[in-house]
Amino acid sequence: MTEQEYYLICLIEECAEVAQRCSKALRFSLEEVQPGQALSNADRILQEYYDLKSMIKMLQSEGHLPIWSKERRNS
């Protein structure tokens, strides 16, 4: 497995974790705190989002993903 493949698998996992947290929030509410957890579903969504964001930044810093810019968006 290449470094790029490894990072992309990690990115997939982080995306899935964000989706799972959103699904839990829809089913049980943003305010719900699952047994054995200290954080609400809303807090856990944000936690997973920041993990996802970190993974994207890592892929960018390693040169696997481009840095997004206003110019790139308009092309």
Q: CB-side exposure of 43: number of CA atoms within 13 Å?
A: 8
DSSP 35: T
The pTM for the full model equals 0.86
Alpha-carbon distance of 62 to 60, in angstroms, equals 5
The terminus-to-terminus CA distance of the chain in angstroms comes to 33
pLDDT band for position 71 (cuts 50, 70, 90): confident
70 has a pLDDT exceeding 90 = no
How many helices (H) and strands (E) in the chain?
A: 3, 0
10 token code pair: 């990690």
pLDDT value at residue 75? 65
pLDDT band for position 73 (cuts 50, 70, 90): confident
